[in-house]
């Protein structure tokens, strides 16, 4: 199997009445789902264009999954656009991705029609799709690109990345071997499908025979109610959502597996989550848009580690001279696997980040222990150069988040005429600088303790739910408030 959708037909034949997708208002069986995909794929086949790239701006829900999955089935590349993007942001991403057509709903047509010469209404497309036959012959031999996404763009202009079917097919094996997921899964997707973590969670479930439960919009209360009322076995989430779920202070006794992307769970958070879900299995993984899954940790007591390599993944830690380092030596993390994306798109050319031997890096720094467990020190671009000393902000953030009154913390480097850069902590929470300095003194060398403390009511976030460091730094540089 190369085309990721190849097995959906088999599932539909074996269990035609099994629920594929469940929303608040609708249930689609596998028979209905494969017929819908077949009709939509055949509709794509009727479009006489050589550039088989479709951009789309659609609300969260079944129609999003329908267009994305059917495009993959038909050998097209799907480019999801975020409804929350401002006109300037959307226009830039349409320019970068160069789709042959853009599909959107009526309410967004005026916003998009001036940005591209060929904009189709989803409402009109649905009428044409309904007239197609439901059977589609899937080309499962060629490994075509099927997904174009964008990096968050927090450090500059956004970049488009390309994935082919093989990379997600290899990721499905990680779900099976490492996360112990199979066709019996009922997976709750509580976030927007524009976020690749949630899109992958939904599509991988449908391509491996499970049932997807979709929430139109995230609500911590609805997540907990859905888990209690439906046979949910796995929850895909990001740290900000976990924080909201914890604030509900409800206890769910059912067994549940949580697959979280984003910041690593600290020990305090793990304890709090375990109190909410007494029968919890936690799956943490380290990865990147470019690399996909790299390592995972499942209910293991390895404080600070992001786990061992996933199925089919190799890692190496290298020094500045390219030499492979020994255990506990900090260096740049290199990865080799079939899960790595094709590359970045620039001037209609795909530029791979892999070297001639297949190794790639996103410039994260870390080390491995003698058992092969990986520890992340931080990202090279985030390093604060304090005098001649490298400071990893992630290490400081981890300590600050130990304080029970801290909701979120970010540490950035700011220019200093004497030291070159100093560490500045931005805190969301009901505490003070003195308490946090005392906490840091217990766990960190004195030079790692932030020199400035800034308190805020809101943090800026990327589309993936992570703190937007560059945006945060820019706003702080414009007005620094010392405490």
pLDDT band at 100 (very low <50, low <70, confident <90, very high): very high
Domain layout of the chain by residue ranges: 8-368, 383-478
71 torsion bin: left (phi>0), alpha (psi -120 to 50), beta (else): alpha
pLDDT tens-digit readout, 111-170: 999 999 999 999 999 999 999 999 998 877 778 899 999 875 434 467 899 999 999 999
Q: Please report the pLDDT score of residue 155 as a whole number.
A: 42
Distance CA 257, CA 80 (A): 28
pLDDT band at 85 (very low <50, low <70, confident <90, very high): confident
In percent, the amount of the chain with pLDDT more than 90 equals: 63
Q: Provide the CA 192 distance to its chain's centre, in angstroms.
A: 11
Nearest to 52 by CA among 70, 67, 71, 73: 71
Q: Provide the CA 86 distance to its chain's centre, in angstroms.
A: 21
- Give 13's contacts (C-beta < 8 A, 6+ positions apart): none
Q: 8-368 with 383-478: one CATH topology? A: no
Multiple choice CATH, 8-368, 3.40.718.10, 3.40.50.2300, 3.40.50.12780, 3.30.30.10: 3.40.50.12780
Report the range of poorest mean pLDDT among 81-90, 191-200, 202-211, 309-318: 81-90
- Give 432's contacts (C-beta < 8 A, 6+ positions apart): 483
pLDDT band at 481 (very low <50, low <70, confident <90, very high): very low
pLDDT tens-digit readout, 68-81: 999 999 999 999 99
Distance CA 184, CA 181 (A): 8
CATH superfamily of domain region 383-478: ANL, C-terminal domain (3.30.300.30)
Strand partners, 384: 391
pLDDT tens-digit readout, 304-320: 788 999 999 999 999 98
Nearest to 292 by CA among 259, 263, 261: 261
> Residue 192 in 3-state DSSP?
coil
């Amino acid at each position: 199997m190369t085309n990721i959708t190849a097995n959906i037909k088999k599932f539909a034949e074996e269990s035609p009445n099994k629920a594929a997708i469940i929303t608040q208002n609708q249930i689609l069986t596998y028979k209905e789902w494969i017929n819908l995909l077949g009709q939509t794929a055949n509709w794509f086949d009727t479009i006489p264009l050589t550039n088989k790239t479709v951009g789309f701006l659609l609300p969260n829900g079944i129609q999003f999954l329908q267009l994305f999955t059917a495009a993959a089935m038909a050998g097209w590349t799907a480019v999801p656009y975020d409804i929350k993007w401002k006109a300037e942001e959307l226009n830039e991403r349409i320019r970068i991705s160069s789709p042959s057509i853009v599909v959107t709903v009526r309410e967004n047509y005026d916003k998009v029609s001036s940005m591209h010469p060929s904009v189709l209404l989803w409402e009109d497309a649905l009428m044409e799709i309904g007239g197609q036959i439901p059977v589609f012959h899937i080309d499962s031999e060629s490994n075509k690109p099927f997904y174009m996404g964008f990096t968050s763009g927090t450090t500059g202009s956004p970049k488009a990345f390309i994935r082919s079917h093989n990379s997600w097919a290899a990721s499905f094996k990680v779900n099976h071997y490492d996360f112990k997921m199979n066709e019996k899964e009922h997976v709750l997707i509580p976030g927007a499908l524009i976020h690749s973590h949630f899109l992958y969670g939904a599509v991988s479930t449908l391509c491996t025979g499970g049932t997807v439960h979709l929430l139109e919009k995230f609500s911590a209360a609805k997540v907990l109610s859905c888990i209690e009322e439906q046979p949910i076995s796995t929850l895909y989430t990001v740290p900000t959502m976990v924080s909201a779920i914890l604030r509900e202070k409800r206890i769910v006794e059912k067994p549940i597996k949580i697959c979280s992307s984003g910041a690593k769970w600290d020990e305090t958070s793990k304890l709090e989550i375990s109190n909410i879900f007494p029968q919890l299995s936690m799956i943490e993984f380290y990865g990147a848009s470019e690399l996909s899954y790299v390592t995972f940790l499942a209910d293991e007591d390895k404080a600070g580690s992001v786990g061992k390599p996933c199925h089919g993944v190799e890692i190496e830690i290298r020094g500045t001279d390219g030499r492979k380092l020994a255990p506990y030596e900090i260096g740049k993390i290199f990865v080799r696997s079939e899960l790595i994306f094709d590359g970045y798109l620039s001037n209609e050319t795909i530029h791979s980040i892999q070297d001639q031997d297949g190794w790639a890096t996103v410039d994260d720094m870390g080390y491995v222990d003698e058992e092969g467990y990986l520890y992340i020190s931080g990202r090279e671009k985030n390093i604060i150069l304090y005098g001649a000393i490298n400071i990893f902000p992630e290490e400081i953030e981890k300590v600050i988040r130990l304080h029970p009154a801290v909701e979120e913390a970010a540490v950035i480097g700011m220019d200093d005429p004497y030291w070159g850069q100093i560490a500045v902590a931005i805190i969301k929470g009901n505490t003070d600088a003195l308490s946090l300095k005392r906490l840091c003194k217990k766990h960190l060398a004195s030079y790692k303790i932030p020199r400035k403390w800034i308190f805020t009511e809101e943090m800026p976030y990327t589309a993936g739910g992570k703190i937007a460091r560059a945006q945060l730094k820019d706003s702080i540089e414009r007005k620094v408030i010392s405490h």
